[in-house]
Amino acid sequence: MGLLSGLEEMIESVFENGVASLMRSRLQPVEIAKKLAKAMENHQSIGVGKTYVPNNYAVHLGPSDYAVFAPGKGGYERDLSDYLVNFARQRGYALKSRPTVQLIADQTVGKRQVRISARLLDTVNDAELDDPRATNSGYTTRLNITSEPIAKPAAAAPLPSAHLVINEGAAALRYPIDHMPFSVGRALDNDVVVDDRRVSRHHVQIREMNQRYFLVDLDSTNGTFVNGERVTRCVLKDKDVISLGGMQVVLSTQGQA
């Protein structure tokens, strides 16, 4: 975790100080980590009282990027696995076993691009979640795919289309919410990047819950308010006014009751 957290802070500092060119010449481990976290969130499986997330990740890199990571492949895979364990704990997700991460060279992937395949596999040993060195180097221990197929949720009516609207002077900027989860904050990996020091790096996420838009505050410094009331999580409705530490955003939907 030391390697990833240090790189993340360094990269954000470089970008915020306007010298991004120093770090953009090659793919960074923290960029892979963020894409792994999104893959985890996008492949949730709802169980009885738990939300399970994948525990097996294949990270496909272009040949030139893979060549950079290859000498320290096992260490990078371990650090990325550590990152996913902590990310799952912070979000309250359930893991059937310690996540395995494998870096793979792929001729079909372009430079500085990442393609991730995420799967939920049968458990190996619950103790692995407490012992980050319980598996072989790189956490690529062979696992058996569960014999019972993962239950798929019943088809539900799609969410109404929605936008986040930010007023900047006379102009209104509209950001379509076109995937879940949808994040807002100052950090560059958010879906909406806000240049306002009152807003935390990762301030809020918008998620889907029971065919509704659901807002979650990500332990922001200055808090989140909806229609003047401080919230940590709540269902959103059309025309709700969301204040991110004082910066206002409006949710605009079509067809939501």
Q: What confidence score (pLDDT) does residue 197 get?
A: 93
Higher pLDDT, 187 or 154: 187
Residues shown for the chain: 257
d(CA 257, CA 185): 28
Q: CATH number for 162-253: choose from 3.40.50.2300, 2.120.10.30, 2.60.200.20, 3.40.50.300.
A: 2.60.200.20
Residue where the block lists tokens 């963020």: 34
Whether pLDDT at 4 is above 80: no
Give the SS3 label for residue 155.
Answer: coil
Q: What confidence score (pLDDT) does residue 139 get?
A: 39
CA distance to 55, 81, 94, 186, per residue, from 131 (Å): 15, 12, 16, 34
Whether pLDDT at 135 is above 70: no
Once rounded to an integer, what is the mean pLDDT over residues 49-57? 89
Q: What confidence score (pLDDT) does residue 211 get?
A: 83
**114: which 2 tokens?**
């990442």
Task: For residue 170, name the pLDDT band (cuts at 50, 70, 90).
Answer: confident
CA distance to 16, 54, 60, 79, 221, per residue, from 5 (Å): 17, 22, 22, 10, 19
pTM over 0.75: no
Q: Which phi and psi (to 5°) does residue 118 adopt?
A: -120, 135
The yes/no answer on whether domain 4-119 falls in CATH 3.30.2320.60 is: yes
Give the SS3 label for residue 146.
Answer: coil
By percentage, how much of the chain surpasses pLDDT 90?
42
57-115 pLDDT, tens digit per residue, is: 999 999 999 999 999 899 899 999 999 998 888 888 888 889 999 999 999 988 889 99
| Domain residue ranges in the chain | 4-119, 162-253
Higher pLDDT, 96 or 20: 96
